[in-house]
Amino acid sequence: MLHRIDTAHTCNRWNRDYAPVLTISGGDTLSLSLKDSSDGHVRPGMTIAEFAAIDKSLIHALTGFPAADGGRSERLNGDEV
């Protein structure tokens, strides 16, 4: 089955409390439409002053999140992921 996640499902930080926007199963295909990592804040022709004024807490665009049917959490450096 083909699943799609578009840029309407974008946030700017990882958070395990965010609910998955869909669940995929083994053999499924996932198509993601992604924003650039600055979420559109960095653009060609910007001045140094404009770049310096960007709210850097908002420039980590992440798309999703999908869940994997039958998936399990793992520990990475002591944190559950």
37 lies in some domain: yes
15 lies in some domain: yes
63: β partners: 10
Please name the amino acid found at residue 37.
S
Total number of domains in the chain: 1
Domain with 32, as residue range(s), is 2-71
Find the DSSP H helices in 1-81. Answer: 48-52
79 lies in some domain: no
Distance between CA atoms of residues 19 and 67, nearest Å: 9
Q: Is the pTM of this model over 0.75?
A: no
* pLDDT of 79: 62
Instruction: Give tens-digit pLDDT for 47-79.
Output: 999 999 998 887 877 877 888 888 766 666 666
Cα four-point dihedral sign 12, 14, 20, 26 = positive
6 lies in some domain: yes
